[in-house]
Structure 1
Amino acid sequence: MGLFAVGKGISTAMGFLLNLLLTRSTTTAAYGAYAYAWTLITIIEVFADLGSSKSVLRYMPDFKEDSENRSYILGLGYVTGVSTSLVIALGIYISAPVISSLTLNSSLFEDVLRVFALVLPFNSVGNVARESLRGSGHIDEHIIARQVIPPVLRVLTVGIGLVVGYSIIGLVATLVVAAAIAMVVAVAIATSHDLLQPSFTISRTGVNKFYRTAVPLAFRDIGTFLYSRVDVLMLGILLGANAVGIYNVPVLLAGVLSLPLTGINQLFPAVAGELFANDDRQTLQILHHVIVRWSFSTTVLIGAVIGIFRTDILALFGVKYVAGGTVLMLFILAYLIDSIAAGSAYVLMMSDHQWILFVNQWTFGIVNVTLNYVLIPRFGIQGAAIATVISYILMNMARIIELWYYEGIFPYSITLAKPILANIGALIAIRSTAAFLEGLTAIATGGIVGIIVFGVLLYGLGIEQQDREIFAQIRGAF
């Protein structure tokens, strides 16, 4: 858990620094073209390897003692990742003019997208290697290979490109170089383990089993992107590159609020899975109460700092990005809604309701597309944010109701009142700081004051015994 927190912190900081470098060194339109192409490639990457990395993750634990089948699965994952991603990358390269005409209608975007397409084969192979480490229990190496090395390389290569004087096209090319190096490192780390050596033999039964898992998982994740990132795609189609550039920065900043929930999700599934297997619903209910309390409390605290000092933070990227202040506030609301449903999706998955999750993702993905289509022409970038927030609210309400209906588990209790009161006090303290200080000093001081006030008030109100016991169990399990 400690290394995960460090890795996630490095990944987030490097992402922030990368976008800061790009926004400060390019025009809004150029940054918008980059952000739009990056979003497209990120979405395409979900199925560029035909789900091979996810299938590798799924079967690694099953073949823990079976080196032959493990090697076969790895070999099939690598071959699939290379072949399908190369075909898709070539298709993107050829069809870039058509994609551009249907979206940003920009020759700059067309060139950026063509260069970005080269990332797909490197990322696909690298993802198979990284997921093989995760699936085989080499968690520390997985974190280093996924959350530390790639983002650090991206910042380093772009930094070198800026020193040399590259334009946005050259800077994107440096990201391709970073992806290639990250892939080599990931494969080298994975193959350094005797049990992670790929085999390239062919078995019809193995192929059928592999793809029966891989393909549905890939299509499930496409639904996830529909309700989480389709706003950027539709902004490009309806408003152009400048709108995408201004919109992408607050989306990036609001993503920091996902850190508490992401950290909890590293621990919760394993503990909850064991409780569910033992049919210990009572402890699972208590555990769910605990993670919702702390997910919501920490997200509110981080959101308060970002929201109150939003103008100062956005100005770091350039004065023109301050226009994204309302979008940032709306996305803070979206992540707060997400935090109050913490763990619901995992419990549904563990209780064999994965098809409900699949239907949820696609249903609210379509809702998000529809809302974006209606609201963007009327409200601009704020319309895209409103559409996404509504989709988040509906998605999480559905998960909470489904979990209560199918499993009788409800994530809230009266114990949520204490951290809410502590957060109200912290919010007042942070807001008071903003009245006397400005800039980076205000941000840093406000954050520190908020944490101290929250901690003191929560301690004074009394930390729940359940929290102490559950976190002690989690630490013991890891």
Structure 2
Amino acid sequence: MSEKSGTKAVARGGLANMIGSALAGGTGFAVTWIVARSLGPDQAGAFFASTAAFVLAGGLAKLGTQTGLVYWPSRLRATNRAELLGACLRTGLTPVIVTSLLLALGMWLAAPMIARATAHEAVTAIGTHTAALRVLALFMPLQALTDALLTATRGYRAMRPTVLYDRILRSALQLLLVAAAGVAALWTAGALPMFAFAWAAPYLPVTVLSAYALKRVYGASKPPGVTTRRAERRGVRREFWRFTGPRALASVAQLALQRVDVLLVAALGGLAPAAVYAVAGRFVVLIQFANQGISQSVQPRLAEALATGDRRTANHLYQTATGWLVLVTWPINLLVMQLAPIYLHIFGDGYVKGRNVVIILAGAMLVATGCGMVDMVLAMAGRTSWNLVNVLIALTVTIGLDVLLIPRLGALGAAIGLASAMVANNVLPLIQVGRVAGLHPFGRGTRAAALLSLTCFGALPLMTGTPGLALAVPAFLAGVWLLRGPLALDAFTRTRRTR
């Protein structure tokens, strides 16, 4: 795989993923706005706490297969062992189905306890909070299975199912159903379970379509008439879980790092501060979607390059993708920092108090995105156990600071904890990737994108005020055009001409 062909392929998949991620991020922002406007602060906080518990349970059910189901299909194809792909898929998917059903049952039974722990002083919210958790428990196996199935399709370099079914279809259905729930809430009491159902129901059709997509890509790549020995299948299972086992714990810890803060704010500070914190940090999810959109396109090709020892191509892919990520996300972070009061006022007057939360999280996201998809690179280099240690350190940092600061500072304390954890969770693997694999994200494109973003959306508004903000976008676009060579944007041009 040459550097140019690899970059072009990443551009093709990354562009589709970025468009889908932008749509998913926009619909997620709209869903948050509808929930914040339709429900009171306590009920909105209960909704965000319930969905956080739902995502945590689903992440546990996936058992870290998000990495293994990309790494191993890519590796098996790169090493001419495609006949073992079926055994690999069964090894990864079967435990996810069993574990998700068990965890869904556990979530159903534990719903009253979770509601009491997070409802805090809002005793009247416990009943509806419990009902919402049980509604989500019914759909949790579908969420885990959808992610696992779509991950497996990406192991075959098929990006379209993820974009069409998860980014576009699920997000659009969530927005439509949550909007309908918002309208119904004008006349219906006890709307929280209804919102939970509207948010989770789209996983049903998406799961069915994802299973069909995996069946198609697997059938198209299955070698005809090739049989495998039991010892070979057993070897694949052993190697798969030896690689994926540490990543299973790391993925749960990673999700906890992203979601446990909402639960801790609800438990230690109350549901209303939890709603403020969830709304203030909503833009972080948009940034994470952008990161996923690019990294999911890079991941299979990076795994193949590292599997064959082609570190030059791997480093080129890593640096190019990081440059694109910085180019897309740093302007958003810098704008959100400067326009935090306006951003929060969109959700209602009661959320403006989260201004400092926005500024702290946006600053941390500048560091995180500047390191690129470094945790994924470390995992594709085969260091999943190191990845686990890094995430556990970051999780310890955020929980420790949350417990210490939330009772005194509320949502701001949680923001400090999460920001510190994000910095640790990116700087540590950055050092490790450099030492072990000889890779780093600071290529020409990354430096150009960072300098351009800081100049247009940082220095220019600070020096000139409001007129600077008006000039920032055209200046940025002009800079992107002038720097299109270092930013490797010609890959997108070649992709369009090929089509």
With the shorter chain as reference, the TM-score category is: 0.7 to 0.9
**Deviations along 1:171-222, whole A, 9 cap, x unmatched?**
2122333222222332344445672899xxxx89376566555544321211
Cα distance in 2 for partners of 1:469, 1:191 equals 34
> C-alpha separation between the residues in 1 aligned to 2:479 and 2:143?
46
Query: Match of 2:343?
Result: 313
In the TM superposition, residue 157 of structure 1 has moved relative to its aligned partner by 1.8
- The change in CA–CA distance for 1:337 and 1:19 in structure 2 (over 3 A counts) is same
Counterpart for residue 133 of structure 2: 113
- Corresponding residue SS for 1:118: helix
Change (3 A) 1:180 1:310: same
Aligned ranges for residues 151-162 of structure 1 at < 5 Å?
151-162=171-182
Which residue does 2:104 correspond to in 1? 89
Residue type of the alignment partner of 1:265: S
Which whole-Å deviations, capped at 9, do the CAs of 1:241-298 have from their partners, x for residues lacking one?
Answer: 1111110012112333345544442454456556656656567666655555554454
Residue 359 (1) aligns with residue 372 (2): no
**Quick check: 2:276–2:351 contact (8 Å CA) kept in 1?**
yes
Match of 2:5 in 1: none
The secondary structure found in structure 2 opposite 1:103 is helix
* Equivalent residue number for residue 441 of structure 1: none
Match of 1:451 in 2: 473
Does residue 45 of the first structure (1) align with residue 58 of the second (2)?
A: yes
Aligned 8 A contact 1:226 1:365 in 2: yes
Counterpart AA for 2:139: V
Alignment of 1:76-225 (within 5 A): 79-105=94-120, 106-165=126-185, 166=188, 167-191=191-215, 195=219, 205=234, 211-212=241-242, 214-225=244-255
Q: Deviations over 1:119-140 (max 9, x none)?
A: 1122233233323322233321
Contact kept? 1:231, 1:384, Cα under 8 Å: yes
Which residue number corresponds to residue 267 of structure 2? 237
Question: Aligned-pair distance for 1:348?
Answer: 3.1
Cα distance, 1:62–1:196 mapped onto 2, change above 3 Å: farther
What does the per-residue CA deviation read over 1:366-407, in whole Å, with 9 as the maximum and x for residues that have no partner?
122111111112221111101111122223232333334434
CA distance in 2, matches of 1:344, 1:353: 12
Contact 2:247 2:385 in 1 (8 A): no
Alignment CA distance shift 1:173-1:422 (3 Å):
closer
C-alpha distance in structure 1 between counterparts of 2:365 and 2:63, whole Å: 29
Question: Aligned pair in 2 of structure 1 residues 70, 102: CA closer, same or farther (>3 Å)?
Answer: same
Equivalent AA in structure 2 for residue 31 of structure 1: A
Q: Which residue of 1 aligns with 2:37?
A: 24
Looking at structure 2, the residues matched to 238 and 288 of structure 1 have their Cα atoms a distance apart, in angstroms, of 40
- Looking at structure 1, the residues matched to 218 and 302 of structure 2 have their Cα atoms a distance apart, in angstroms, of 32
Task: Indicate the percent of aligned positions where both proteins have the same amino acid.
Answer: 20
> What SS is found at the alignment partner of 1:317?
coil
Q: Provide closer, same or farther for how the CA distance between residues 285 and 193 of structure 1 changes in structure 2, counting only shifts above 3 A.
A: closer
Q: Is the 8 A contact 1:132 1:196 kept in 2?
A: no
How many Å separate the matches in 2 of 1:418 and 1:209? Answer: 40
Look up the equivalent residue of 1:159 and give its one-letter code.
Answer: A
- 2:58 partner letter: E
Contact 1:226 1:366 in 2 (8 A): no
The CA deviation string for residues 52-82 of structure 1, in whole angstroms up to 9 with x for no partner, is 5655444444666988854455456554333
Closer/same/farther in 2, CA of residues 52 and 292 from structure 1, 3 Å limit: closer
Look up the match of 2:10.
Answer: none
Task: Give me the whole-angstrom Cα distance separating, in 2, the residues matched to 1:74 and 1:417.
Answer: 39
Q: 1:376 to 1:463 in 2, by over 3 A?
A: same
- Counterpart contact for 1:58–1:135, Cα < 8 Å: yes
1:338 Cα offset (Å): 0.4
Offset at 1:474?
A: 9.7
| Alignment-derived partner of residue 361 in structure 2 | 331
Distance 1:188 1:434, change over 3 A: farther
- CA–CA distance in structure 2, aligned partners of residues 79 and 458 of structure 1: 46
Uncovered stretches (5+) of structure 2, i.e. residues with no partner: 1-12, 121-125, 223-229
Q: How big is the shift at 1:327?
A: 0.7
Which amino acid letter does the alignment assign opposite residue 207 of structure 2?
Answer: M
Distance 1:63-1:332 versus aligned 2 partners, 3 A rule = same
Instruction: Give the partner amino acid of 1:85.
Output: S
C-alpha contact 1:191 1:197 (8 A) present in aligned 2: no
Higher relative contact order (CA 8 A, sep 6+): 2
TM-score normalised by L of structure 2: 0.80
Partner SS, residue 138 of structure 1: coil
Give ranges in structure 1 of 5+ residues lacking alignment: 437-444
1:463 corresponds to: 483
**Residues 109-152 of structure 1: per-residue CA shift (max 9 Å, x gap):** 22221211111122233233323322233321232122111111
Other structure's SS at 1:342 match: coil
Does the 8 A contact of 1:301 with 1:450 survive in 2?
no
CA distance in 2, matches of 1:458, 1:187: 40
Conserved 8 A contact 1:305-1:430: no
Aligned to 1:440: none
1:33 equivalenced with 2:53 (yes/no): no
Q: Aligned residues, how many?
A: 463
Q: Which residue of 2 aligns with 1:392?
A: 422
- Partner in structure 2 of residue 439 of structure 1: none
Residue 346 to residue 92, structure 1, CA distance change in 2 (3 Å): closer
CA contact (8 A) 1:227 1:364 kept: yes
- What is the alpha-carbon distance in structure 1 between the residues aligned to residue 450 and residue 221 of structure 2? 51
Give the Cα separation in 2 of the matches to 1:141 and 1:414. 32
**Range that drifts further, 402-411 or 95-104:** 402-411
